Structure 1
Amino acid sequence: MNSSGITASAELGLRLVVPDRTAVPLVARLDYTADDPYAIKVAFHTGEDEPVEWIFARELLTVGIVRAAGDGDVRVWPEKGAGERTVNIALSSPFGQAQFDAEVSPLAEFLHRTYEIVPAGQEGDYVDLDSEIERHLQP
């Protein structure tokens, strides 16, 4: 895991949940930056040349560790079984669906580092609304 004053990154071991088969292990890279304080970019390394990237709301992952969160394309919920606590992440797109599970500890550690960079409730202090509006109004 790496972090600086404005960014954090980590590699997270996941298991792709495949119905009626053994779960398939894979790695995802998580990236967070104060420049986009509400979001976490997750790149799923599936064995293809290019990873599959999704953008998650930081709050969605945080809440999903404790209770079910999310609607539609992304849902996150905790799983309390024997041994290590896990979190489930279900993704849906026009191209298909996937469900992953991961240990809570490394995900929680990564999230903790993101909140050290940008504390909860202070995300708006890191967004320059005037430049964002100007950027979107440019042809």
Structure 2
Amino acid sequence: MANMNSSGITATTEVGLRLVVPDRTAVPLVARLDYAASDPYAISVAFHTGEDDPVEWIFARELLTVGIVRPAGEGDVRVWPGSSEGERVINITLSSPFGQAHFDAPVSPLAEFLHRTYEIVPAGQEDEYVDLDAEIEQHLQH
């Protein structure tokens, strides 16, 4: 895997999110977003809740992009635009067997990060960055 700081192949950023809790004050936390040309369809999001190891989720890049402008996703991950205290935010709900979590995050840093990912791998060119032979071989070895 390429060095996280090498420009042109990967992008990483930290975004402040809020965990929205019904009838309670939202809990601020930090998420680290990682993108690599070697996995061009996916964005890895590590939620740092403070105590344990970060909780990692993999998002489709397209889902986050679409979710800035209109509701997107089904099943475990849903994303939709909104506003909070006059600021444009993106809402994210994650469902797992352990429960559901609802986050919101300011759109600007997320949009900037997504823009960087599209500079690395333009939309529609993802398949040119996927090494299918390597992927198949990796799955056969398990």
TM-score class, shorter-chain normalisation, is over 0.9
- Give the aligned partner of residue 137 of structure 2: 134
**Cα deviation, residue 3, structure 1:** 6.5
Do the aligned partners of residues 123 and 51 (structure 1) sit closer, same or farther apart at CA in structure 2, a change above 3 Å counting? same
Aligned counterpart in structure 2 of residue 46 of structure 1, from 49, 73, 82:
49
- Give the aligned partner of residue 15 of structure 2: 12
Q: For 1:49 and 1:81, how far apart are their aligned partners in 2?
A: 28
2:18 maps to a residue whose letter is R
Q: For 2:74 and 2:81, how far apart are their aligned partners in 1?
A: 15
Q: For 1:92 and 1:130, how far apart are their aligned partners in 2?
A: 33
How do 1:76-115 and structure 2 match up within 5 A?
Answer: 76-80=79-83, 83-115=86-118
TM-score normalised to structure 2 length: 0.93
Do the aligned partners of residues 82 and 14 (structure 1) sit closer, same or farther apart at CA in structure 2, a change above 3 Å counting? closer
Do the aligned partners of residues 21 and 81 (structure 1) sit closer, same or farther apart at CA in structure 2, a change above 3 Å counting? closer
Q: How many pairs align?
A: 138
Q: Secondary structure at the match of 1:68?
A: coil
Q: Secondary structure at the match of 1:85?
A: strand
Q: What is the RMSD of the two structures over their aligned residues, measured on CA atoms?
A: 1.3
Q: Secondary structure at the match of 1:133?
A: helix
